[in-house]
Amino acid sequence: MYSSSANVSERQAAPPSLAISTVIFALRPSESSGRPTLWLPLVRRIREPYKGLWALPGGPLSHSESLQDAASRNLVETTGLAPRYLEQLYAFGGLHRSPTQRVVSIVYWALVQPTEAALADESENVRWFRADRLGELAFDHNAIVDYALWRLRNKLAYGSVAYHLLGEYFTLAQVREVYEAVLDRQLDPANFRRQLKSTPDIEETGEYLQGGKHRPPRLYRFTGRPGLDPDNRSTP
């Protein structure tokens, strides 16, 4: 314990620094099976600590932007993409997250569309990885990604996030593939279709997807709205 009078350990008492990071998910076909899989972009650390390791995109919170704006900016700067879904994940503030200084990270997670994700920037220091094969990341970022995955699975099970990983038009089988990729288990096509058809915010179109080697599936469209964050408003 240091003195209770002031100014002595001023540097010690300086407020922890505040950063925003973002876990960005997108579906990409697996190189091996071709089935859609979860991928996310990471940036290479070019400074100590953890220089050379991969880390979540992020940076300090600037004075004039909201938390969500900062997360959005992360997204644009590292991938060039606009998020289709962006939600606060958690504030990580453990004492020893960074070896050099105390830093509190407010982490967001985002979903982007595959069409866009295919065009995403990639470079020497930005690369996409399969979510289930990340290797060792900087700081506590492995734990953060794990938690983001857990949250994604949860949201998927209840809510309406799956559609934000797909384009505007999609087949019910594509939705099922999203679920299978994220939950990592097979689902019965017929039962899954029955469930989706009973939800309100998914709408039949007159269009069919051509080009497969089989009966062309009908295309659907998502009509629901994602809930807002509580800083503006609610979220599950």
The residues that touch a second copy, with contacts defined as CB under 8 A, are 12-18, 60-67, 88, 90-95, 102, 104, 106, 143-144, 147, 150, 154, 229-232, 234, 236
Q: What is d(CA 14, CA 63) in angstroms, rounded to the nearest whole number?
A: 17
Compute the least distance from the CB of residue 83 to a second copy, in Å.
17
Compute the least distance from the CB of residue 203 to a second copy, in Å.
27
Task: Say which entry of DNA, a second copy, none residue 47 contacts (CB below 5 to 8 A, set by partner kind).
Answer: none
Return the number of the residue (141 or 176) whose C-beta is nearest a second copy. 141
3-state per-residue secondary structure call for 121-134 = CCECCEEEEECCCC
Task: Say which entry of a second copy, DNA, none residue 194 contacts (CB below 5 to 8 A, set by partner kind).
Answer: DNA
Give the Å distances, CA to CA, from 98 to 16, 138, 170: 11, 9, 42
Q: What is d(CA 33, CA 29) in angstroms, rounded to the nearest whole number?
A: 8
Which residues make up the interface to DNA (CB under 7 A)?
Answer: 171-173, 188-191, 193-195, 197-198, 208, 210, 212-218
Q: What is d(CA 108, CA 24) in angstroms, rounded to the nearest whole number?
A: 8
Compute the least distance from the CB of residue 90 to a second copy, in Å.
6
Q: What is d(CA 80, CA 228) in angstroms, rounded to the nearest whole number?
A: 23
Compute the least distance from the CB of residue 82 to a second copy, in Å.
21
Task: Say which entry of a second copy, DNA, none residue 230 contacts (CB below 5 to 8 A, set by partner kind).
Answer: a second copy
Return the number of the residue (152 or 172) whose C-beta is nearest a second copy. 152
Which residues, listed in sequence order, are joined to residue 172 by a DSSP beta bridge?
A: none
Q: Which residues make Cβ contacts (< 8 Å) with residue 47, sequence separation at least 6?
A: none
Cβ atoms of 162 and 156 closer than 8 Å? yes
Compute the least distance from the CB of residue 212 to DNA, in Å.
6
Return the number of the residue (130 or 218) whose C-beta is nearest DNA. 218
